[in-house]
Structure 1
Amino acid sequence: MTDLMTDAQPDPDRHAAFYSGVPAKRALAWIIDTILVTLIVTLVALLTALTALFILPLVWLTVGFLYRWVTISGRSATLGMRLMSIEFLDRYGQRFDAATAFLHTLGYSLSMAFVLPQVISVGLMLVSRRGQGLTDMVLGSVAINSRA
């Protein structure tokens, strides 16, 4: 019995270049994306005459969620991921559509809300064959070095 993921996504043994350095690139992309979200939240706060500061956690969550969902829906990668030349593939080896990007962003947001899932996710990225985090494993997705 063959695993669908093995057939649809690059094999980490035969095509190791797709996965080479991806965990470190994901970490750098996360830092870049966090800075971009912070800048957007700051702009929102300034445009609302600092009123947004009263509901800052909600603004931060909303901006972060929309940023990830919209950017991942567009080209299967956030802006930080694009700068690091990595992208997501779904379980069928295709770039994310809007629904998969939404589910991935939801999983990411939920894991960020709790310490243990986030620690598990980072640990899985470091030790799993395909460098998948917790949300990636649930969805069957992978992050790889961009093909072109």
Structure 2
Amino acid sequence: MNDGSGNTYGGAQSGPVYAHAYDPVTQPEYFDGVLSRRIVAFLLDVVLILGPIFGLAIFIFLFGILTLSLGWMLFSLLGPALIIWAILYSAITLGSPASATIGMRMMNIELRTWYGAPCYSLLGAVHAVCFWVSVSALTPLVLLLPLFNNRRRLLHDYLLGTVMVNSENRAALLRN
């Protein structure tokens, strides 16, 4: 039984109930063009993630020549380095005050929780891992899911309670 102040009798506390912060019906400016911008942002982020790994591969190749092929054994570390760098990149950039990767910032979109809070580092890292696991396990056909929902959310967005929206600046431009 509730006494009207948010407290329930019997010692149990009821937490705050949040509504979705972004409604595609009343606030369409937050979702206008997000899906296409999300794809371009992803491609930009892939380039930014693979760039340092490609540079590392060139360094290992040259180091292998100098060490008479002994340095080439370091090529086996490129796979783990790519995974660690991609997760760190997502955690650092999504956990920043902009709540967006560099590619997302260039496209004026950001990742928010379903109740409107900015993303944080751990959520950013888990978001990246869940994306790659869902695409790997369920084939790229899982990327068709945003075509069938108003908020343009992917499977990992549903699992993590996140939503991709236009930045406040872009939403304001679209409102006008």
TM-score by shorter chain over 0.5: yes
Q: Percent identity of the aligned residues?
A: 26
Q: 1:29 aligns with which of 30, 35, 41?
A: 41
- The letter for the 2-side match of 1:42 is F
- The letter for the 1-side match of 2:51 is L
Query: Unaligned 5+ residue runs, structure 2?
Result: 1-16, 65-71, 170-176
How far has the Cα of 1:21 moved from its partner?
A: 0.6
How far has the Cα of 1:30 moved from its partner?
A: 0.7
* In 2: Cα distance, 1:141 partner to 1:73 partner: 13
- Render the CA deviation track for 1:26-54: whole Å, top value 9, x for unaligned: 10001101111110111233444365422
* 1:43 and 2:66 matched: no
* 1:110 and 2:122 matched: no
Q: Which residue of 1 aligns with 2:151?
A: 130
Greater RCO (CA < 8 Å, at least 6 residues apart): 1
Query: Unaligned 5+ residue runs, structure 1?
Result: none
Q: 2:164 aligns with which of 124, 136, 143?
A: 143
- Render the CA deviation track for 1:75-109: whole Å, top value 9, x for unaligned: 21111000000001112211111222222122123
Q: Which residue of 2 aligns with 1:89?
A: 112
Q: Which residue of 2 aligns with 1:14?
A: 26
* In 2: Cα distance, 1:77 partner to 1:62 partner: 19
Q: Which has the higher helix share?
A: 1
Instruction: Find the structure with the greater CA-based Rg.
Output: 2
TM-score, normalised by the number of residues in structure 1 = 0.85
Q: Answer whether contact 1:41 1:60 (CA < 8 A) is retained.
A: yes
Q: 2:103 aligns with which of 80, 87, 92?
A: 80
Q: Which moved more, 1:60-69 or 1:82-91?
A: 60-69
TM superposition outliers: structure 1 runs of 4+ over 6 Å: none
Q: Answer whether contact 1:87 1:144 (CA < 8 A) is retained.
A: yes
TM-score, normalised by the number of residues in structure 2 = 0.72
Specify the SS of the correspondent of 2:92: helix
Q: Answer whether contact 2:95 2:120 (CA < 8 A) is retained.
A: yes
* In 2: Cα distance, 1:67 partner to 1:93 partner: 22
